[in-house]
Structure 1
Amino acid sequence: MNARSAQRRKRRLPKILLFLALLAVVAIILIVVLVVVLLQPGPPRLPIGPDDTTSEPRQRPDAQSADCPDVLTLVIPGTWESAADDDPYTPTANPQSLMLRVSGAIADQYPQSRTSVYTVPYVAQFRNPTNLGDRQRDYDFSRSQGYKRAAGKMIQTNRDCPLTRYVIMGFSQGAVIAGDLASNIGNGRGVLDPADQDLVLGVGLIADGRRQPGEQNDIGPSPSGVGAEVALAGMGRLVPGITMTGPRDGGFGELRDRVQSICAAGDLICDSPTVTNPIRAVSQLAGAINNPVHAMYATTDYWSLDGASATQWMYGWADQVIADAPRPAHY
C-alpha cells in the first residue's frame, strides 16, 4: 500500500506543478488585460536637463522678470485625458479630465502672476496589444512624450525664471510621469540642478502605477498593494510597447517628504497583487473586473478622507502649498 501511495503521489506532483504554473500564467494575463482596460500608467526614467552634479550650482539672482510666476503648477492628465496638440493653458482635449477638477479650480483661485497652471499636452494613449485594430500610440511612446514635455517645461522655466517654485500633479499615466519626474529631480538625475531641489514645493499623485507604500506620504485610507508596474516588473519588455519598469530607483530621494500619494483599495493601477501567489492574485483580479475604482476618484465611492474626494483633497493641498509659497522680487 505504501509503495502504491508513493507512486500515486509521484504521478500527481507534475500535475499539481503544472496547475500552479497555469494559474500563474492566468494571473499575469489577467493583470495585463486589466491594466489595458483600466487607465494604465508608467514611464521609464528619462533624465533630461542638467545632470552634471560635479559642476558648480548657478547663483540665484535677487529678483526675476515680472513675466515669471511665483509658482508653476505643472499638471499631467491621465490616459485619454490629453492630446499632443492641446492648449496647455486652456486644455480642451477632454473636458471630463479628472485633473481639470483640480487645475481649473486653482486657475480660478489665483492670478497668473502667483501661479501659472500648465497642463502638459501629450498623446496620452495606451494601445491594446491584443487588438490588432487598435491604432493608438503605444504606452511607451505616450509616457516618453509626456515625460519629455513635462521636463522640458520645467527646464525652460528654471532657465528663464530661476526663482519660480513648482507644484507637480498627475493622475494615472500622468501620475507615473509626474512621479518619475520627481524621482529624477530628488535623486539628482537631471531636470533641475541638485541645488534647486528646494524649488519643488510639492508633488501630488493620484493612482500612481509605480507606487510603493511608505515611499512617500500615503494619504488617507491607503492599501498595501503596489503599482501595476511594480507588480509586473518581472515582465519587463515582454509585451511590445508596454514596458513594466518596476519600482523607481532611489524612490523620490530628497523629495520624499514632499510627495503626496492617493490610491483607492482595489484600484489595480496602484493597488495590484503580486504574481508570487497566483491563487490569491487570480482571486483579487477576478473580483476587481466589475469594480471600476480607477475612474471614481472625483467621488467618495471608493476613496475619501474627512468627507473629501481625492480631487477635493488634492485641490485643498495644492491651494495651501501655493498660498504658502515664497513671493520672489520682480523687476
Structure 2
Amino acid sequence: MSARKAKPRGKRRLPKLLLFLGLLAIVAIILIVILVITLLQPGPPRLPTPGGPSTSETKERPDAQSADCPDVLSLVIPGTWESAPDDDPYQPTANPKSLMLRVSGALADEFPSSRTSVYTVPYIAQFRNPTNLTDRQSDYNVSRAQGYKRAAGKIIETNKNCPLTRYVIMGFSQGAVIAGDLASAIGNGRGVLPASDQDLVLGVGLIADGRREPGKQNDIAPSPNGVGAEVALSGMRGIVPGITMTGARSGGFGELRDRVQSICAPGDLICDSPTVTNPIGAVSQLAGAINNPVHAMYGTPRYWSHDGSTATQWMYGWASDVIRDAPRPAHN
C-alpha cells in the first residue's frame, strides 16, 4: 500500500489567508463609512458637480471700478453645523464657535471693508446620518450643493459689478470641499469666472478637505500621506443614500494649483483616509481614530501646528499677507 502524498502546506494556507484578507477589506469599508458619517462634522457644539457654463472668452477689463467695490473679496465657507441658510454673511451668528470665525473675524478686524470684504457663505451646512431614522437634517448632497451655488453666485455677481476685485477663498471640512470645488472649476475653465480672470483668484485655503490628494496643491507641513474620505470611498458611490463620494477633482486645481494651500492633520479621516486597497492599514488607522477628535481640534496645536501656529492662526496669517500684497485698483 503506497503512502499518501501530502499536500504542500503553503497551498493549504493560501485560501485561509485570502479569506482573512477579504474579511479585513470588508471591515475596513464598514469602518470608513461609519466614521465618514461621524467625522464629516466639526465636533461638539458649537458635492455637487461644479456648475456654470464653460467660459473661455476673454473680456476687456476697465481701468477703474466703482468706489463701493472692495479690492479683495474674502469668501469664507464654514464647515458642517457652522452655518445656516439665513445667516448674515457679514455678521454670521449661526454658530459662534465656528472654526472659520477665528480667521474671518481676525481679517475683518485687521482690514477696512474697502480693502477686503469678508463674506461668510450662509448655507444649510448639515450632514444627515442615513443610519439614524430619526435624523431630520438635510442630506450632505443637498447641503453641499446649496453651499456651492451660493458661493459661486457671490463670485459671479461680484465679478460682474466689480471686475477688478480679487478673491481669497477659504473653507473648513464641508466648506473646504466646496471651496476646493470652486477652485477646481475656476482653475480648469469650467465656469464661475471667465478663464481670462483666473488671475483674480489670489489664493485658496483649505482646512480638512474631504477631496484632498497629497501633492496636488501646496500641502502645509505636517502633511499626511492619506487621501480625502471622498477619494478613499469613490468606489462606493450610491451605496449610502444622500452621500455621494465624488472622488478626486477632475483636473485637480488646474491653473490655480500653486495658489491652493491645504492643511490636514495626520489622523483626521476626513482628509487623511486610507484607501481600501490597503485593508490592514485601514483597519489599524481607523481603529486608532475612533476616540481621537482630530477633526474638531484645528483651533488648537494638539494635532496640527506649523512653527507653533494652529491651523486657524496659519490660515489667518497667510490670508492677511495675500490681502496686504494684493493690487489696489483705481476707483471711480
TM over 0.5: yes
* Identity level (%): 79
2:107 corresponds to: 106
What per-residue deviation string (whole Å, max 9, x for no partner) do you get for residues 157-185 of structure 1? 00010000000000000001000000010
1:47 corresponds to: 51
Q: Distance in 1 between matches of 2:64 and 2:284?
A: 58
Does 2:27 align with 1:5? no
Amino acid at match of 2:250: D
SS at match of 2:143: helix
Does 2:24 align with 1:20? no
Amino acid at match of 1:298: G
SS at match of 1:205: strand
Does 2:207 align with 1:203? no
Does 2:287 align with 1:283? no
* 1:3, distance to aligned residue in structure 2 (A): 3.8
Note the 1:170-185 alignment, pairs <5 A: 170-185=171-186
What per-residue deviation string (whole Å, max 9, x for no partner) do you get for residues 264-307 of structure 1? 10000011111112122111100011111110100000111111
* 1:46, distance to aligned residue in structure 2 (A): 2.1
Q: Does the aligned pair in 1 maintain the 2:184–2:254 contact within 8 Å?
A: yes
Q: Does the aligned pair in 2 maintain the 1:40–1:269 contact within 8 Å?
A: no
Does 2:88 align with 1:82? no
Given the superposition, is the C-alpha separation of residues 14 and 318 from structure 1 closer, same or farther in structure 2, using an over 3 Å criterion? Answer: same
Q: Does the aligned pair in 2 maintain the 1:183–1:252 contact within 8 Å?
A: yes
1:325 corresponds to: 326
Q: Distance in 2 between matches of 1:279 and 1:197?
A: 42
What per-residue deviation string (whole Å, max 9, x for no partner) do you get for residues 77-136 of structure 1? 000100111111100000000000000000111111111000000100001111111111
Does 2:84 align with 1:97? no
* 1:18, distance to aligned residue in structure 2 (A): 3.2
Q: Does the aligned pair in 2 maintain the 1:40–1:209 contact within 8 Å?
A: no
1:152 corresponds to: 153
Structure 1: runs of 5 or more not aligned: none
Q: Distance in 2 between matches of 1:63 and 1:301?
A: 46
1:250 corresponds to: 251
Amino acid at match of 1:108: D
* 1:17, distance to aligned residue in structure 2 (A): 3.0
Q: Distance in 2 between matches of 1:190 and 1:3?
A: 70
SS at match of 2:7: helix
Structure 2: runs of 5 or more not aligned: none
Q: Distance in 1 between matches of 2:49 and 2:258?
A: 20
The alignment's C-alpha RMSD in Å is 1.6
SS at match of 1:111: coil
Q: Distance in 2 between matches of 1:198 and 1:3?
A: 75
* TM-score under structure 1 length normalisation: 0.95
Q: Does the aligned pair in 2 maintain the 1:30–1:285 contact within 8 Å?
A: yes
Note the 1:31-46 alignment, pairs <5 A: 31-39=32-40, 43-46=47-50
* 1:44, distance to aligned residue in structure 2 (A): 3.2
SS at match of 1:317: helix
Q: Distance in 2 between matches of 1:252 and 1:73?
A: 19
